[in-house]
Amino acid sequence: MSQTLNAYTLLAVPLAPLVGSALAGILGTQFGGNWIGRRLTHSLTILGVLIAFILSATTLKSVAIDGARFNETLYTWMIVGDLKMEIGFLVDGLTAMMMCVVTFVSLMVHIYTIGYMDEDEGYNRFFAYISLFTFSMLMLVMSNNMLQLFFGWEAVGLVSYLLIGFWYNKPTAIFANMKAFLVNRVGDFGFILGIGLIAAYAGTLNYTEAFAKAADLSALTLPGTSWMLVTVICICLFIGAMGKSAQFPLHVWLPDSMEGPTPISALIHAATMVTAGIFMVARMSPLFELSDTALNFIMIIGSITALFMGFMGIIQNDIKRVVAYSTLSQLGYMTVALGASAYSVAVFHLMTHAFFKALLFLGAGSVIMGLHHNQDIRYMGGVRKYMPITWITSLLGSLALIGTPFFSGFYSKDSIIEAVHESHLAAAGFANFAVLAGVFVTAFYSFRMYFLVFHGKERYDQNPDAHHGHDDHHDDHGHDSHSPHESPWVVTVPLILLAIPSVVIGYMTINGMLYGDFFKDAIFVDADKHHAMKELAAAFHGPVAMAMHAISTAPFWLALAGVVVAWYMYLVNPSVPAAIGRALRPLVVLLENKYYMDWINENILARGARALGMGLWKVGDRTLIDGLVVNGSWKLVGMVANWTRKLQSGFLYHYALVMILGIFLLMTYFVWLNK
């Protein structure tokens, strides 16, 4: 039995996509003289990601079956006192699972991109970016220390910025990537504070060494306060996750990120990058288990995101934004599971969600292509008969999303609901309500989109903004403007390959991932304090029994109710939504304005920050520093010098008079005044 993994093999996993990215980004663009064409560009980048996926799959096999592990430093970058800054890999069950998810989804997106970006002049640049993203994400999940984690964290943020603003001549894309950049800087500031506190008080950036000192950290308080140091550390780390994983109130960048091409929406903003925060909290579980305050905070934030971002999905008409708000809601579910100390359930949902959400995004992209870049679901309908593969795969993805028994999403989503139900934290009551209500909401908006797109009357000719969707950088490939068409095989094959795990992966892996020893040395839970997982294990009798039992539980009937209500409102009696919209107009306005979060950010926070900066510049810098200190000092010296010049006349009798006056004053003082 192999107990360790080969360092060079592991090193090849992130380096293969990096090499492909470098070749495409340098030799395939104007920067390097356009030496290689489109065919070679996508071949090289796909080959790099394929190598990474194959090696990741073999690594997962070694970890899961042979019990292999790896935790070594590969390169020491710098030593500052006792603090070592290193590059190294930690490969256990959690890492191996993430490696496979990242590389498989990335591979599907790479293949899909061949068809989707066919007409775009930035074709080679796009492939370079998505391969660079794959490298960055792999460095993040494979790291064994917080320095490398932060490098990968910021690298995926950089690539996200480049890809959201991929169409850099488009004002909305420029605004969206700047918004993503600034909001993530808020989160990352908290994240680096948390890392800094660990480095300061534990004296190390290495995971294993830091976790070994967790008990010592729990006994300390933040200097000058009565706050537990570990609580402050955990909350700071989670603020980083709030930015990257788009949790309320740092969620505002994710819907706007739909300005980037659809493959990116699938790769970054659904399946992989946004789950980095979930992965990080699960990796840091030995620290988070020491603070119930931090866990309550996580659970509240996750509950708000899960429920209220789901409400937002109900009123969206852009097909990509419906799926985007669905992503926000599902990330909220994962966060709630983290708060309930069900870390394995959170990453289990991360894995299942990656497949069906990437499927839904790519399915949405396929619909956009088939409808000649119309993204408004109000002007679709009846697409099923024109795009059968896209239809069936999108249906499977939707069924997985709402938690249909035996589908992958069911096993992970129901496990989250059960874990919250068993939690005894103060926030568990609100969280339990939020995740249950979210089941109905998710089913409703998912099948609202499904019915409006694939069923009902054809409404293609009613679109007043035809050919002006977000992804309007393509032509119509010579098809009739009102007739949908199935996408090419490079688009449909990834849909089929993503649909398979969306259906079966939950059934196949739930036993090992949640109740086996797959995460035994990656995730730590204090079972005496937080016994949700113990209760779930006691109630679990296999995936079939779990699915059969679900038919008698509230989540199943709430999901079914959501589907039925959506069917009635959008297929049977379409006048109902309009009537409800009129009756609840204030609520609709609130949702249309995204809870006024953008308004608050732009008009209060951003404007306030700019006003503060302007005040510091004009009053602090220009008036006080430049005007008073710098300019005032030389003006004062000049005045003193000018006055002194008048005193220094050069006449002897002036000096004699001054001496006589001085002697007179001194004598007066000593004789008369100083008695």
Predicted structure pTM score: 0.87
User: pLDDT: is 393 or 122 the higher one?
Assistant: 393
* Cα angle 78, 84, 85; round to 5: 55
In this structure, are residues 303 and 431 in contact, taking their beta carbons and an 8 Å threshold? yes
**Residue 87 pairs with which residues in a beta bridge?**
75
Rounded mean pLDDT, 197-218: 90
- Quick one: which H or E segment has residue 181? helix 171-202
Q: For residue 466, what pLDDT band results from cuts at 50, 70 and 90?
A: low
pLDDT at 2: 45
User: pLDDT: is 475 or 337 the higher one?
Assistant: 337
pLDDT at 468: 45
Residue 233 has pLDDT above 90, yes or no: yes
> Hey, CA dihedral for 397, 399, 400, 402, is it positive or negative?
positive
In this structure, are residues 169 and 208 in contact, taking their beta carbons and an 8 Å threshold? no
d(CA 629, CA 402): 65
d(CA 254, CA 257): 5
d(CA 494, CA 26): 27
The predicted-structure confidence for 521-540, as pLDDT tens digits, reads as follows 888 888 888 888 888 888 88
**253-263: burial string, b at 16+ Cβ within 10 Å, e else:** bbbbbbbbbbb
Rounded mean pLDDT, 247-266: 84
In this structure, are residues 394 and 450 in contact, taking their beta carbons and an 8 Å threshold? yes
How many helices and strands, by DSSP H and E, does the chain display? 29, 2
Residue 314 has pLDDT above 50, yes or no: yes
Q: For residue 635, what pLDDT band results from cuts at 50, 70 and 90?
A: confident
The predicted-structure confidence for 574-598, as pLDDT tens digits, reads as follows 889 889 988 989 998 998 888 888 8
Q: Mark out the alpha helices in 377-520 (DSSP H runs).
A: 388-401, 408-422, 428-454, 489-515
d(CA 617, CA 635): 22
The pair of structure tokens assigned to 143 is 């790291």
pLDDT at 270: 62
The predicted-structure confidence for 472-511, as pLDDT tens digits, reads as follows 444 344 344 457 888 888 888 999 999 999 999 999 899 8
The pair of structure tokens assigned to 249 is 């109130």
d(CA 322, CA 448): 10
The predicted-structure confidence for 351-400, as pLDDT tens digits, reads as follows 999 999 989 989 988 888 888 778 888 888 888 888 899 999 999 999 99
d(CA 265, CA 318): 13
Q: For residue 223, what pLDDT band results from cuts at 50, 70 and 90?
A: confident
pLDDT at 651: 79
pLDDT at 478: 39
The predicted-structure confidence for 279-306, as pLDDT tens digits, reads as follows 999 999 999 999 899 999 999 999 999 9
Q: Give the E-state strand segments of 252-394 in sequence order.
A: none
Type of residue at 127 = F
pLDDT at 122: 82
Is the omega angle on the peptide bond into residue 249 within 30 degrees of 0, that is, cis?
yes
pLDDT at 192: 94
Per cent of the chain over pLDDT 90 is 39
User: Which of 89-93, 242-246, 527-531 has the least mean pLDDT?
Assistant: 527-531
User: Which of 15-29, 78-92, 371-385, 471-485 has the least mean pLDDT?
Assistant: 471-485
pLDDT at 16: 93
**Average pLDDT of the chain, as a whole number:** 87
pLDDT at 3: 63
pLDDT at 1: 34
User: pLDDT: is 642 or 13 the higher one?
Assistant: 13
The predicted-structure confidence for 426-464, as pLDDT tens digits, reads as follows 889 999 999 999 999 999 999 999 999 988 887 777 766
Q: For residue 470, what pLDDT band results from cuts at 50, 70 and 90?
A: very low
d(CA 29, CA 34): 5
How big, in percent rounded to 5, are the helix, strand and coil portions of the chain? 75, 5, 20
Q: How far is CA 239 from CA 190, 221, 248, 561, 578, in A?
A: 5, 20, 10, 35, 39
d(CA 402, CA 377): 19
pLDDT at 465: 63
